[in-house]
Structure 1
Amino acid sequence: MKGPSLFLLFCLCLLSSQSLLAASVVFLNPGRAAEPFWASYGHFMQAAADDLDMDLTILYAERDLRRMIEQARDTLQGNARPDYLVFVNEQYAGPEILRLAQGSGVKLFTVNSHLTADQQTLTGATREKYPDWIGSMVTNDEEAGYLMARSLLEQQERRSHGEPYDVLAFSGVKQTPASQYREQGLMRALAEFPDARLRQLVYAEWTRERAYVQAQQLLQRYPEVRVAWSANDEMAFGVMKAGEERGLKPGSDLLVSALNNSPEVLRSYLDGDISALVSGHFTLGGWAMVLLHDYDAGVDFAEHGGKDRVVPLFISLDRDKARRLLRHIERRGYDLDFRAYSLVGKPKARDYRFSLEPLID
């Protein structure tokens, strides 16, 4: 074989091997590796990556903003850059991550907490000032806060017989959009129940320990409280522990809400200790992997539902749905084939169909 033919064959082989390379994704996980929610979030993403033949690396910031920024810098400005970076606007870190990404050649995608309207007056929207910032996907956090509160207040209304009653609220990190939206949902529900009196809202920063200390003080300050709205499961467990120390039995003397999907919270709900449970958003990162897989294959999700999307993943669980969700979570790969949710090879499909339904059927 002559020299030019060998060279051509080499080039064809090189192109072919490159086309078969898996798309590489780095996820800047703002939580702790041992934190039930963020760990389960990562597991669901990894299950999607495995099915879609994608290379996923998860970096845990351990709830340290500086660490997350350093991880972003190393990822975006290092020698081994990924094809895609998935990040959360935790503690308003989004604009700095976008700044670090300039000129990197890495495509960026936001999940869970999108940049706020005020932030976007400076950064622009996706695909504008930062053209490599290709999209975002968040959940209906306001609805989640509302669903939890409404369920708690409906239960308390049946017990209070028209008398006013006291409520405490335990929110997450004040500077996190998801926390703010859930609070808005709480306030919407409170406006519908005039007998409910919100005594105090505190920021327990998503942690069991901080909620426990705060609840000790607040339950002493407001001894008549029988309803505690909690924006996640870890804080709910802290509140329940403080309540039990005051002789309040969770589920009867003290109604507590929770949000998430850990086996612990699902079992607590099934046992009747948690009175209202909402779940769904732990799947968001996995669905984002489907979008990035398709984008990498030439199917732009912007043309199938939009580049920025709010997915109604949150639902209020009943006992039957909680049992089914627990079964799926305990199975390897969640009993899902993520390739079924891809639109590659489906030119007639208009939009993606992401929901919690496959895990509660």
Structure 2
Amino acid sequence: MALTQARAILGGPQRPDYLVLVNERYVAPEIIRLSRGTGVKLFLVNNGLTASQARSIEAQPGKYAELLGTLTANDEQAGFEMLHQMVAQLPRDSGPVDLLAFAGVKTTPASQLREEGMRRALADFPQVRLRQVVYGGWSRQRAYEQAQQLVERYPATRLVWSANDEMAFGAMQAFEEAGRKPGRDVLFSAINSSAEALRARIDGRLSVLMGGHFTLGGWAMVMLHDDAQGLAVNRDGLREHRIPVLQSIDQAKATRWLKLLERPDYGIDFQHYSAEGRPPDYKYPFLTSPINY
């Protein structure tokens, strides 16, 4: 669908100045190819190019348009921290612990990186046994159906790691139907800052929650605004940035963020971070440090 939309936009009579795209299911290289010669500037967010995609594009520079920039989240680190925080909540003498993991989509870089982080964390916890990784496709219903089978196959499961909130809630429903209480019998983790996820973190049904990557779109708009003003956006000499937008959300932060969801700006003055009116050596702070809100 993204490819169809891109073809229509890039081949249409009224092309935009900018196109923000996501490398979901590996579609970015074809969109970058289609953009060559159109005059449309490209900015990649959330899912960057894979190493093999980047090599292929570099090997054929005449075939592809140039990217203005890439902003991706600290997905691998988030996957790593989620498991660490879950294990920290277990009793010290809990013995062997069974873990189930719900990854998103095999062909989505963010999903791959989150899973890689979880697997890296496993090396720190020999007592944690990863029983199975399933791909829930970011879907609540699919994760629910998968978890119905998994809870029977691995009844001793204590930890359920999920790459997003929808899959966590689907798995949670299956475990609840099997008589297991979230936050007590089984610890669940997730990534996202939806209202439902924030409420679940407040009431303890989600034991670990990471979120904040929605701001990637806002930071991209800051940089596109500056580019449109004729200001350099690769102010540190780089075009690709993996930025620390995913933050751990405790109950206090979940309560605060739930209120911020009611505000149109989510409590962030994005305009404040523009390079407009700044000295020439100004660097975007959001590229290197978490922004508190």
* Same fold at TM > 0.5: yes
Larger fraction in helix: 1
Rounded Cα–Cα distance in structure 2 between residues aligned with 1:272 and 1:223: 21
Residue 168 of structure 1: which of 91, 100, 106 is its match? Answer: 100
Task: For residue 253 of structure 1, report the CA deviation from its aligned partner.
Answer: 0.7
1:283 touches 1:356 (CA, 8 Å); kept in 2?
no
- Counterparts of 1:175-324 in structure 2, within 5 Å, are 175-304=107-236, 306-324=238-256
Residue 52 of structure 2: which of 111, 118, 143 is its match? Answer: 118
Task: For residue 73 of structure 1, report the CA deviation from its aligned partner.
Answer: 0.3
Rounded Cα–Cα distance in structure 2 between residues aligned with 1:149 and 1:179: 15
Bigger mean CA deviation after superposition, 299-308 or 350-359: 350-359
Which residue of the partner structure matches residue 91 of structure 1? 25
2:162 touches 2:188 (CA, 8 Å); kept in 1?
yes
Rounded Cα–Cα distance in structure 2 between residues aligned with 1:185 and 1:328: 29
2:32 touches 2:65 (CA, 8 Å); kept in 1?
no
Report the structure number with the largest CA radius of gyration: 1
Number of aligned positions between the proteins: 290
Rounded Cα–Cα distance in structure 2 between residues aligned with 1:349 and 1:246: 58
TM-align CA RMSD: 1.6
Task: For residue 130 of structure 1, report the CA deviation from its aligned partner.
Answer: 3.7
Rounded Cα–Cα distance in structure 1 between residues aligned with 2:73 and 2:144: 27
Task: For residue 334 of structure 1, report the CA deviation from its aligned partner.
Answer: 2.0
Rounded Cα–Cα distance in structure 1 between residues aligned with 2:94 and 2:190: 25
Sequence identity percentage: 52
CA distances 1:289-317 after superposition (whole Å, capped 9, x unpaired): 00011011111111246211111111111
Task: For residue 153 of structure 1, report the CA deviation from its aligned partner.
Answer: 1.5
Rounded Cα–Cα distance in structure 2 between residues aligned with 1:325 and 1:304: 31
Task: For residue 326 of structure 1, report the CA deviation from its aligned partner.
Answer: 1.4
User: Are the structure 2 counterparts of residues 302 and 268 from structure 1 closer, same or farther at C-alpha, using a change threshold of 3 Å?
Assistant: same
Which residue of the partner structure matches residue 145 of structure 1? 79
Tell me the secondary structure at the aligned position of residue 344 of structure 1. coil
Task: For residue 331 of structure 1, report the CA deviation from its aligned partner.
Answer: 1.6
Tell me the secondary structure at the aligned position of residue 192 of structure 1. coil
Q: Gaps (5+ residues) in structure 1?
A: 1-66
CA distances 1:298-352 after superposition (whole Å, capped 9, x unpaired): 1111124621111111111111111111111122322333221101111244311
Tell me the secondary structure at the aligned position of residue 335 of structure 1. coil
Tell me the secondary structure at the aligned position of residue 223 of structure 1. coil
Matched, 1:69 2:3: yes
What's the TM-score, normalizing by structure 1? 0.77
1:280 touches 1:356 (CA, 8 Å); kept in 2?
no
2:10 touches 2:34 (CA, 8 Å); kept in 1?
yes
1:92 touches 1:176 (CA, 8 Å); kept in 2?
yes
Which residue of the partner structure matches residue 88 of structure 2? 154
Rounded Cα–Cα distance in structure 2 between residues aligned with 1:115 and 1:266: 30
Task: For residue 286 of structure 1, report the CA deviation from its aligned partner.
Answer: 0.8
Which residue of the partner structure matches residue 285 of structure 2? 353
What's the TM-score, normalizing by structure 2? 0.95
Tell me the secondary structure at the aligned position of residue 100 of structure 1. helix
**Matching residue's letter, 1:180:** Q
Task: For residue 129 of structure 1, report the CA deviation from its aligned partner.
Answer: 6.1
CA distances 1:252-298 after superposition (whole Å, capped 9, x unpaired): 01100011011111001100100100111011011100001101111
Which residue of the partner structure matches residue 133 of structure 1? 67
Rounded Cα–Cα distance in structure 2 between residues aligned with 1:112 and 1:305: 20
2:99 touches 2:129 (CA, 8 Å); kept in 1?
yes
